[in-house]
Structure 1
Amino acid sequence: MDLKESRRLARRYIETITASNPNPTGPQILHPPDGQTPSTAALVEHLGLPHLEGDKLQIYESLVTLETYLAQIPSLGPDPREQSAATFLREWVANAILPSEAFAERPLYSAAARSELSPDDVAKARAMGVKGLLLLSHLRRLDPPPQDGPDGPDTAVLTCLAAFSDKNDPWNSSNAQEQASNLIKDYTRSSHLPSMLTSILQKRIKALFSRTVNPAITPQGRKAINPRPSNITMHSDLDAEMKPWKFRDVYIITVFRWVLQCLDKSSVQANWPLITPPLLALIDDSSLEYKITGCNSLFNLLEKCPSALLERTGLGEVFEDAVMPCLSYLPSLTEEPDSLRILGAAYPVLIQLALARFPDERKYAARIKALDRVLRNGIVKGYAHAGDHVKIAELLVHQTTRLVNEMGTEFVRHLKYILPLLSANLASPFATVYPPLLQASVISIQAIIVNHWPRMSYHRGEIMRGLSTCWCRIKDCEVESKEHLQIQQGMENAMRLLQAVLQSDVDVAEDYQILVDSDPRLRDLLVA
C-alpha cells in the first residue's frame, strides 16, 4: 500500500478545489496498486491518525485518502482490531471536520494572530466537510452505531452531524447538510436519543458556556434571590477564553439549536439547568446575531416548556428582563435591516412568553399586565423613533394587531394612543408609496373594531378620517396596482364592520352622506 503516493494524489485533488470549482471530479485514481484493499486498522496505523494534530492540509489529505479506500471495503473483518479502528475513526472524523476557529468572530481589540479564510479556503473546508460526512456514511455501513448507550464516540458523531444541520452556516453546504440529515436519522430514531442529547448538553455545550455566567440565575436553573453583579461584562468581548462558543467553537450554537429542536417536554424539564445558561448568554450577548439566535431559540423552547416550570424556577421574569431591551434596537442607532431582524425575533418571543407564563384564566390579570409592558415599552416607544422607516412601522403595526387580539377588551385603554398612529399611517401624503404599511394598518383597524365595538361610537371619527383620506389618495394614483385594490377592499370591509357595530348607537348614514357630499370619490367606500 503506497500511502505516500496516495497522499500526493490527495493533495493534488485538494489543490484543485477553489471557490470557482468547489466540486472537482475525483480523486478516482486513488486505488490500491496491488488490487487489494487495506484493512481499516492498517489505514489508521499507516496514516498516523492518533498523532495527527493541527496541520489542516494533512488532515484533509487523510480524509480524502480514507474516504476513497473505505468506499471499496465491503465489510469489516472478524478481527477485533477492525471494530476498534472503526470506532476510533468515527470519533476522529467527527472532530476533524468540525468548523475551525477561523469561522468564528475575532475578539474585539484582539492582538492574537488568526488566519483569515480566503474564498478558496472556505471552498476547501466545505468540500472536506462533505468528504468527512461521506466517510461517516461508509463507517455506518461497515459498523452501525451501537445501541447500548449515549457515551463514547457517538456523542462526538452526533455533535458533528448537528453542526452541519443548518445549511446557512458559512462552513456548510447543501450537500453536507443533506449528508448530515441522512446520517442523523439513525440517532433520532434511537431510544437513547434523550440520553445522547443530555450528554451533548453536559459534555459539549456546558463546557463551552461555563465561563459566561449569568448572575440572575443559580446553577440549578432558578432565579437568583440576591443576584451578584456580573464581573465578566467588561472583558467578555475582549477575551476569547471568556466566550469560546463565540470566538472559537462557533459551531456549538448550531448544535445547541438542534438539541433544543429535538428535546421533548419531559427532556426540557430534566435538562433545564443545562439549557438556560446558554440561552441567556446568547440573548445577553452584545452581538446582534447572537441576540437574534437567542430570541428564536427561546421562542422554540417556550412551545415545549410547561408554565409550571417557568413559575417554579422564576425564570419567566428573567427571560422577560433579558429580551425586553431588544425592543430598543431602533433606527437610527441601529441600521434598519438589523432592527427589523431583532424586533422580528423579540416581539413574538415576548408575547409567547406572556402566554406561556400565564396560560389560564386564573392568571388573566398577570398575562394582560405582561402584554401591556410589551405594548408600552415596545410599540408606543418604537413608533416615537420609527420616523420615516416605513418597514419598522409595518412591523410594529403587525405586532399591534397581535396584541389587540391577545388582549381583547383590555386593549381599550390604549386606543387613544394607537388609533391616531394607525390613522396617521393611512393619511400620510406618501402612504401609497409603500402599500404593505397601509395593508397592515387596515387589518389592525379591523381587529380593533371587532374587539372593541362598544367603544367605536367614540372613536369612529379617527377611523373614518384615516380610511377616507387613504381612499382618496389611492383614487388619485395614476395607476392602481393590485396591492392598492386589495387595500381598498380591506377599507370597504372595515367601513362595513364599523357601520354594523354602530347601528344600535349611532346612525352613521348621515355621517357618510356628509363625507360623500364633500368628496364624491368616497361614494364607493361609504355607500353600499
Structure 2
Amino acid sequence: MVAMEELRQRASQLSSSVTTEESCTKLAEYVLALSSKAKPADDPRPTLLAIAACLRYLDRLEAHDDDLSVATELATWIAKLIAPINTSAQPNQEGSLPGYGGTQEDDPYDAVTKRILPLLEPGLTALTLLANHFPNDLPDLLKDDTLITLISLSDLSALSESWSTPTTVDLASKLLTSALASLPNPNPTDIIGHYLTSYLRPLFTASRPSTVTPAGRPTAFPADELDRPQGLPDDSRLTKPWKYVDLRAIPVLSFAGLKAPQGDTINWPLYVPPLLTLLDDALTRVRVKGLQITNEFLRKLPAEKPRETGLASVFEDAIFPTMGYLPSLTPEEESLLLLEPAFDALLTLAEQLAASERQDPQTPSSSQKDTGRILLDKLLRHGVFTAYAHCPEKPRIVALLMRKMSKIVSSLGIRAVKHLKDMVPMLKVVMTDPFAYASVDTLVEAIGALEVVVMNCWPRLLLQDGGEGWFAEVLGAVAVAWLSGIDYLGEAEEAAGKEKGKDEVERKQREVERVRVALNRVLRSLQGIARDGGEDGVDQGLDLVVVELRETGLFKSLVPAGAQGDDHLPVV
C-alpha cells in the first residue's frame, strides 16, 4: 500500500498542473522520450508513479485521434517494464550464463523478483487506468505480449510466485479477465491453444526430452541409453530460455493447465513436451512447479488417454526419479517440496488408469490390465518403503510418507494385504519409538495410517500366524504408543513447579489428547474386527488389553461392551 500512498500524493501535486491544452498523446510522448534517455541503473518506479498519477486525470485531457495508438505504445512499454524477464545477465561467448546451469546460483528468479516487485503496483495501476479509459478498445490496447505478462502476474494458478502480492494479483487478475473477455474469440480452448502454440512451443523446443516427438506424442522407438547425450546436460539460456530469460513461461503453462477444458477437447499434445521438460529439470523450484502442473493436467485428461496413448509410462518414468530426492543428498526442505506433488501426480495417474479400466474392462492385452493397481504397488514399494528406509530419522518426511501411504492403501483396498509384511513393522517402529512424542504430528499420521491399514486389510489381520495374523503386532504398537504418552505427561508434571511449568503441561496434554483420539479410533476398529471376525481368542485377548488400558484413565470409552451391558461399540 506504500505505492498507492505515493500515487495519491503525486496525483494531488499533479492535478493542478494538468490542463485541457495537454493531451494523452503529449503525455505518452513525453514519458517515452524520458524513458529512452534513462540509464539502465535508473529506478523507473518514480516514472511509473508519475504516469499513474497523470492517468487518473485523463478525463481532463484533450482527446486526439491517435490517442489509442500512443496509449497502446505506452501500455506496451509499461508491460515490458514490469514483465518477469531476466534483462540483467549477459551471455558469454557460448551463450551460457556464468557458471554451470541448474544451480541455485545461476537461477535468475530472485534477481528478477527483486527488480520488478516495487514496479508492479504502480505499473498495473497505470495499465488499469488506461484500460478504463479505452474500455471498448482493449484488444488493440493490450497486445499479445502484454496479456502474457498479465497472465504471469495474475497468479491464477496459485503457484504463489515470489513476485505476487495480494494487491498486484488482484489488479492483474481483474485486468486480465476484462482483456480476455473482450477478445474477438473469447473461447478458453482457443485462447489456451494460441499461447501454447505461439508462445510456449518456441521456448521449449530446444530442451524437449527425447521420450516424445515434437508433436508431443510418445516416441515409438525411444533412444537407447548409449545413444543419449552423456555428461552434464546443456543447461543454458540458449537451450532453456524459459528458465533463464523469460520467466513468464511457467506461470503461463500453469494457466493453460488450470483453464484447460475437461475431457476430449483438451489439446494434450501441446502440453506434454513442456511438462516433461520441467519434470526433468535439476532445479527444485522448476521441478516442483512441473509436478504441480502435471497433476492438474492429468486430472483434465480423459481417463482413457494415458493408457491408450502411452502417456502413462512416459509420465511415470518422468516423475519417479523425484522419489530419490531425499536427505542427505537433498536438503530436507527441498525433499518435502518435491515429494508432496510427486506423490500427488502419481496417485492421480493411478486413479486415471483405474478409471479407464473400469470404463473399458476388455483391455486388448494382459499387459495393460490392472495398470492402476500395479502403479500403486510400485508407489508403495519404491516410494514409501524405500524413502522410509533411506531417512527414518527425518520426522517431517516420515509424516508425509505416512499420509501418502494412507491414500495409497485406501485406493488399493483389500489388495494392499500383500504389503502387510512391510507396512505393519514400519508403523510399529514409528509408533513405538521412545522419542515419538518429540514429533506428535508424525505419530498422529502414523496412527492414522494404521487405522487405514486395519480398515482395508482386516481379513488378513485374523487369518495368519495361528489365527491372529498381525493383530498382536498392531495391538502392541497401540499399547506402547499410549504408555509412552503417559511417560511423556509424567515428565511434564514433574516440571510443573518450575517456571512456565503449567504451560508446558497444558501443551503436552493437548498433544497427548490428539494421540489418544487417534488411538481410540484404531482400537474401536480392532474391536469391531475381533468381534465380527468370530475369533473368540482374539476378542478375549483384546478385551483384556482394553481393561488394562482403562486403568490409565484415558480409554474408559473402550471398556468391553459386556461390562457396560451394551452390545454397541463405545464412542470416543
TM bucket normalised to smaller = 0.7 to 0.9
**CA deviation string 1:66-113 (max 9, x = no partner):** 3232221128877441222223333332222202416899946169x9
Higher alpha-carbon deviation: 276-285 or 261-270: 261-270
**Residues 21, 85 of structure 1: alpha-carbon distance in 2 compared, 3 angstrom cutoff:** closer
Q: Are 1:490 and 2:487 matched, yes or no?
A: no
Match of 2:66 in 1: 81
Quick one: which of 99, 105, 111 aligns to 2:84?
99
Q: CA RMSD in A?
A: 3.5
Quick one: which of 243, 247, 257 aligns to 1:246?
243
**Residues 321, 54 of structure 1: alpha-carbon distance in 2 compared, 3 angstrom cutoff:** farther
**CA deviation string 1:460-512 (max 9, x = no partner):** 01101101111111122225522312322222221222122122331234323
* Partner SS state of residue 367, structure 1: helix
Match of 1:180 in 2: 172
- Distance in 2, matches of 1:374 and 1:462, equals 24
**Residues 393, 32 of structure 1: alpha-carbon distance in 2 compared, 3 angstrom cutoff:** same
Contact 2:45 2:118 in 1 (8 A): no
Match of 1:342 in 2: 338
Q: Are 1:138 and 2:117 matched, yes or no?
A: no
- Distance in 1, matches of 2:118 and 2:59, equals 25
Contact 2:431 2:446 in 1 (8 A): yes
**CA deviation string 1:6-57 (max 9, x = no partner):** xxxxxxxxxxx9xx99964632334574723632333333444699499443
- Distance in 2, matches of 1:117 and 1:346, equals 22
Matches within 5 A, 1:268-279: 269-270=266-267, 272-279=268-275
Q: Are 1:405 and 2:410 matched, yes or no?
A: yes
* Partner SS state of residue 378, structure 1: helix
Contact 2:210 2:219 in 1 (8 A): yes
- Distance in 1, matches of 2:231 and 2:398, equals 33
Contact 2:260 2:266 in 1 (8 A): no
- Distance in 2, matches of 1:289 and 1:246, equals 10
Match of 2:431 in 1: 426
- Distance in 2, matches of 1:343 and 1:115, equals 22
Give 1:305 deviation, angstroms.
1.2
Match of 1:4 in 2: none
Higher alpha-carbon deviation: 312-321 or 180-189: 180-189
**CA deviation string 1:224-246 (max 9, x = no partner):** 01134554973422x22111111
Match of 2:501 in 1: none
- Distance in 1, matches of 2:198 and 2:23, equals 32
Q: Are 1:109 and 2:109 matched, yes or no?
A: no
Match of 2:232 in 1: 234
Give the letter for the 2:99 counterpart.
Y
The answer for unaligned runs of 5 or more in structure 1 is 1-16
Give 1:165 deviation, angstroms.
2.0
**Residues 382, 34 of structure 1: alpha-carbon distance in 2 compared, 3 angstrom cutoff:** closer
Match of 1:320 in 2: 316
Matches within 5 A, 1:163-312: 163-166=152-155, 168-189=160-181, 191-228=186-223, 229-231=227-229, 234-237=232-235, 239-265=236-262, 269-270=266-267, 272-312=268-308
Match of 1:512 in 2: 542
Match of 1:11 in 2: none
Q: Which TM-score applies when normalising by structure 2?
A: 0.79
Counting aligned pairs with the same residue, the percent is 24
Contact 1:358 1:367 in 2 (8 A): yes
Give 1:197 deviation, angstroms.
2.6
Match of 2:19 in 1: 35
Match of 1:161 in 2: 150
**Residues 204, 152 of structure 1: alpha-carbon distance in 2 compared, 3 angstrom cutoff:** farther
Contact 1:456 1:498 in 2 (8 A): no
Give 1:319 deviation, angstroms.
0.8
Contact 2:212 2:219 in 1 (8 A): yes
Give 1:398 deviation, angstroms.
0.7
- Distance in 2, matches of 1:118 and 1:366, equals 42
Give 1:139 deviation, angstroms.
1.5
Give 1:174 deviation, angstroms.
2.9
* Partner SS state of residue 477, structure 2: helix
